[in-house]
Amino acid sequence: MPVYGYARVSTADQNLDLQVEKLTASGCTTIRKEKASGTSRDGRGELQTLLDFIQAGDTVMVTRIDRLARSVGDLQDIVKAIRAKGADLKAVDQPIDTSTAAGKAFLDMLGVFAEFETNLRRERQLEGIAKAKAAGVYKGRRPSIDVEAVRHLRDAGIGPSEIAKQLKIGRASVYRVLGPTK
């Protein structure tokens, strides 16, 4: 039966080579690759293609389950989709094999830890931002809208739709800058 690999990294500057090597060495006949966040299934076309393509008896293989999902909910949904097709999930670096009871249990435990790790990282980031704000170091991201340009164009008699078009911003952003109309 075919073994299909799935390799994912979160950012464009990360490299998929090591995952692809491991999946190839583990017998994957086809490997779907993408660079997208694992915190959601949105924007992960290669994963969706794989889920649509697999059939009964196939195996989906990843190097580690955090390459597949970063939340327990997403992981369960993905595994449910794989099982609904009659396929199995295996991981190269972890004892996961959904065709066995022990493999299923280990999968669930690792999913909980992957989500826990993501939540811890988010908490540390928010703590760091709060500390930087208190020290006056963190100012947030730079505004992407030139408020003065919006007001200047309005004062010149240009309407919100045309302002948005000229400044290449959304019309809702123009309305937010201009505030409520009387």
> Which active-site residues does the annotation give?
10
What distance in Å separates the CA atoms of residue 6 and residue 60, rounded to the nearest whole number? Answer: 7
Contact 54, 85 (CB under 8 A): yes
Contact at 8 Å (CB) between 61 and 127? no
Strands (E), 17-151: 30-35, 59-62, 88-91
CA separation (Å) from 98 to 8, 27, 39, 55, 58? 20, 17, 22, 15, 12
